[in-house]
Amino acid sequence: MQIVSSASGMQRLAKKWQRGGTRIGFVPTMGYLHAGHMSLVAAARKRVGPAGKVVVSIYVNPTQFGPAEDLAKYPRDLKRDLKLCRAAGVDAVFTPTDAMMYPGKAEGRYSTYVTEETLSKGMEGVSRPTHFRGVTTVVAKLFNLVLPDVAVFGQKDYQQAAVIRRMVADLNFPLTIVVAPTLREKDGLAMSSRNKYLEGNLRPQATVLWRAIQSAQTWVKRARRLPATRLRGDLEKRIMLEPDARLDYVEFFDPDTLLPVTKVTPGTHMALAVFLGKTRLIDNAGL
């Protein structure tokens, strides 16, 4: 497994593979890897085959964090991440620095960003107004450096995957986006690097996101058609029964356009964000 620390070095390696006709699968991450990330690696390997190359990037991207968010304390463990990647058969791990990804930014000489202006407006776009500009910018840059044929994202970040797909289509990136299923713990909690923050009684309370999704799925299956405001209110009451839970949002929307719906029916998608203490978790599922 190669460890590539420079942007130019990553691009040179990717071009070398391209010239040889080798397919490249890519999994962008912010590190602190877990089984969910490894499932994305497996999906990338499946797409490019044993003769292809799988690249994982490990980079905590500062431009997708707001001023009051957890950039400084976001969990990091590069040594452990590299061990997991090696065991999973990753061919190269790209570990750039801020100076490489945003050259001259500290001196005010970086000023180019990528924005998606429709799918990014709701949900996470409301709660974290600068988030998706940071995501689309860094992913576009990573695509230009890794030059993948296939890039794999997790369904846990449903809106993010939709935004990336739109960016790829709109800007004619020559690659395929694959969205892999969410992996969950035995109790239903979606795997996330931020789960590390859930200490003490916060961890069992965090299952309220999955329990809310299951409740919504049951209600829609029975009623077939429910007012979104009513279902949102019922779920909020359930979530707030947990002593350390604070609801950020629950949204019901069309899975393709991400536009909110007034009536929830089978096929509607649901997403929610909940604070457990200071830790903010997200989840989503089809109803």
Q: What one-character-per-residue DSSP string does 56-85 give?
A: EEE---GGGS-TTSSTTT----HHHHHHHH
Q: Which tokens belong to 101?
A: 């990804």
Residue 16 pLDDT > 90: yes
Q: Is 37 a catalytic residue?
A: yes
Give the pLDDT score at 138. 98
| φ, ψ for residue 146, nearest 5 deg | -90, -25
How does strand 176-180 pair with strand 150-154? Answer: parallel
Q: Are 285 and 218 in contact (CB under 8 A)?
A: no
Give the pLDDT score at 106. 85
Residue 224 pLDDT > 90: no
153 vs 28: CA distance, rounded Å = 8
Strand partners, 3: 93
140 vs 157: CA distance, rounded Å = 17
pLDDT digits (tens, 9 = 90+) for 46-67: 999 999 999 999 999 999 998 8
Q: Quick one: average pLDDT of 238-258? A: 97
Residue range 193-286, CATH number: 3.30.1300.10
Tell me the domain boundaries of the chain. Answer: 2-180, 193-286
Residue 35 buriedness (CB in 10 A; 0-12 / 13-18 / 19+):
exposed
DSSP string, 254-281: -TTT--B-SEE-TT-EEEEEEEETTEEE
Fold of 2-180: Rossmann fold (3.40.50)
User: Which one from 34, 37, 131, 269 is the annotated catalytic residue?
Assistant: 37
Q: What is the pTM of this model?
A: 0.95
Average pLDDT, the chain: 96
Q: Quick one: average pLDDT of 14-21? A: 98
Give the pLDDT score at 266. 96
pLDDT digits (tens, 9 = 90+) for 159-214: 999 999 999 999 999 999 999 999 999 999 999 999 999 999 999 999 999 999 99
Residue 89 pLDDT > 90: yes
